[in-house]
Amino acid sequence: MADVAARVGVSRALVSLVFRDEPGASNQTRERVFQAAAELGYRPDSAARVLARNHSRVLGVTLTVRNPFHADLVERIYPVAEQLGYDILISATAPSRDERKSVEALMGHRCEALVLLGPDTEDAALAELGGRIPIVVVGRRIPEAGVDTVHTAEAKGVRQAMDHLAELGHRSILHIDGGNAPGAKERRGAYRAAMRKHGLSEHARVLRGDHTEESGARAARLLLAEQAELPTAILASNDRCAMGLLDALRRAGVEVPGQVSVVGYDDSHVAHFSHIDLTTVHQDSDRMAEYAVRALVNRIADPNQQPQELVLDAKLIVRGTTAPPRNQ
């Protein structure tokens, strides 16, 4: 900053005002300061600026690095945060890096609040974390934790998917569940309720899985190894699970949707690809991102307000992986 001031011929304090976008310098001086900074390769030290003030104006976001729906959410979080005057710092979870480390990294960088995308952390731990820093949980319902949440109406989405399959004529409909992953319990319960509603309880079957491609592929291998008649339709726990399922079925020569119809959940951007063309339950990532960021900003402004549970609508998107069963 001293070098920029010397190049322009003004005080270091005036250069500081310009970079903080505060009054005190003419437009001509501002242009000269920015030009000198560009020539010298100078950038303001954002970390130092954070230390110099009480509020960082930075929101932290945790995500699962391999989850395409989380990528969709992050892409939409950025413009909302920028509009409200906040920067975003991302910290990913991975097989070698758990959520605790991801959260600690963000707090170590002085984030004012955290957006947790589909966390697996226990309710009690989330409640404790919410007592230390404002957080909003996206994609999971945790009414007892006392923190802000944003999620889709899981049961409604599953009901739409199951109604669609039943209307096509499917009776043998299997569900690969999400295990303990966020939303899995609600989706599993909605599947069983829908099978009862359509008089198909005797055909109900749930295979244990998770929200990964491997769980879908594993379910396909199990079904093929049973050497029994395949279900005519499968509801996967999410799009990632559906992708693994589709790949394994097609590699084994099983026609989708000719022999087996497949439905996912999320409507992530990869579901739209023409070679996948997945029928799936759409979660509104635009509104989820906006609601999450605004909930956090409101929580920063008023830490004592009551926790909010914001529930968004779900909508089935019918594409090319579902059709009437062949024997109908």
Comparing 55-59, 173-177, 203-207, the range with the smallest average pLDDT is 55-59
Answer yes or no: is pLDDT of 51 > 60. no
Per-residue CA distances from 274 to 71, 164, 279, 320 (Å): 20, 21, 12, 9
Reported as a pLDDT band with limits 50, 70 and 90, residue 202 is very high
Per-residue CA distances from 282 to 41, 84, 205, 250, 313 (Å): 45, 27, 24, 24, 9
**CA pair distance 167, 28, nearest whole angstrom:** 69
What is the mean predicted confidence (pLDDT) over 20-25? 78
How many Cα atoms sit within 13 Å of 71 on the Cβ side?
9
pLDDT digits (tens, 9 = 90+) for 135-150: 999 999 887 778 999 9
Structure confidence at residue 55 (pLDDT):
61
Fold for 154-283, please state it: Rossmann fold (3.40.50)
Is CATH 3.40.50.2300 what the domain over 58-152+286-310 is classified as, yes or no? yes
> Domain residues of the chain, as ranges?
2-44, 58-152+286-310, 154-283
pLDDT digits (tens, 9 = 90+) for 219-250: 999 999 997 899 999 999 999 999 999 999 99
Q: Distance from first CA to last CA of the chain, Å, rounded? A: 76
The reply to whether domains 58-152+286-310 and 154-283 share a CATH topology is yes
Helix (H, G, I), strand (E, B) or coil at 287: helix
Structure confidence at residue 313 (pLDDT):
95
Joined tokens for residue 98: 């758990």
Given 1.10.260.40, 3.60.20.10, 1.10.1240.10, 3.40.50.150, which CATH number is that of 2-44?
1.10.260.40
Contact criterion met (CB below 8 Å) for 107 and 59: no
Reported as a pLDDT band with limits 50, 70 and 90, residue 52 is very low
